[in-house]
Amino acid sequence: MNSPRTVAFSKNATNVFFHILTACNLRCRHCYINPSQHGAESLDIDTIIAWLNEFTGKENLPNVIFLGGEPTLHPELPLAVKHARRLGYQSITIDTNGYLFHDILNCLNPDDVDFFSFSLDGATPSVNDSLRGDGSYHICLKGIRQAVSRGFNTSLIYTVSSANLHELEKMPELLANMGIRRFFIQVVGIRGKSAQAVAFEPDRINQVSPDQWLREVPAVAQKAAMMGISVTYPRVFLKPGEPFECAGRVADNYFIFPNGRVYQCPLCEDYPLHSKIFVNNRLISTPGINETDLFKLDIPEGCVMNRIIQPGNIRYLPDGSPEYRIACCLLKEEICGG
Ligand code: SF4
Ligand code: SF4
| DSSP 3-state of 232 | strand
Identify the pLDDT of residue 289: 94
Per-residue model confidence as pLDDT tens for the chain (338 residues): 566 676 667 667 899 999 999 999 999 999 999 999 999 999 999 999 999 999 998 888 899 999 999 999 999 999 999 999 999 999 999 999 999 999 999 999 999 999 999 999 999 999 999 999 999 999 999 999 999 999 999 999 999 999 999 999 999 999 999 999 999 999 987 666 666 554 445 456 788 888 899 999 999 999 999 999 999 999 889 988 888 999 999 999 999 999 999 999 999 999 999 999 999 999 999 998 999 999 999 999 999 999 999 888 888 999 999 999 999 999 999 998 86
Identify the pLDDT of residue 209: 84
Separation of CA 168 from chain center: 17
If we measure between CA atoms, which residue out of 302, 306, 272 comes closest to residue 288?
Answer: 272
Kindly identify the ligand whose nearest atom is closest to the C-alpha of 248: 2
Identify the pLDDT of residue 240: 84
Identify the pLDDT of residue 60: 84
Q: Supply the pTM of this predicted model.
A: 0.94
Identify the pLDDT of residue 208: 86
Identify the pLDDT of residue 198: 46
Beta bridge partners of 283: 278
Distance from C-alpha of 13 to C-alpha of 275, rounded to nearest angstrom = 19
**Contact criterion met (CB below 8 Å) for 140 and 120:** yes
Identify the residues whose C-beta falls under 6 Å from ligand 1: 24, 26-28, 31, 33, 68-70, 97, 119, 132
Kindly identify the ligand whose nearest atom is closest to the C-alpha of 192: 1
Kindly identify the ligand whose nearest atom is closest to the C-alpha of 302: 2
Identify the pLDDT of residue 199: 47
Distance from C-alpha of 135 to C-alpha of 128, rounded to nearest angstrom = 9
**Contact criterion met (CB below 8 Å) for 332 and 234:** yes
Does ligand 2 have an atom closer than 6 angstroms to the CB of 331? no
Does ligand 2 have an atom closer than 6 angstroms to the CB of 105? no
Does ligand 2 have an atom closer than 6 angstroms to the CB of 20? no
Fold of 5-335: TIM Barrel (3.20.20)
Identify the pLDDT of residue 191: 61
Q: Whose CA is nearest to atom 7 of ligand 1?
A: 31
Distance from C-alpha of 148 to C-alpha of 136, rounded to nearest angstrom = 18
Does ligand 2 have an atom closer than 6 angstroms to the CB of 52? no
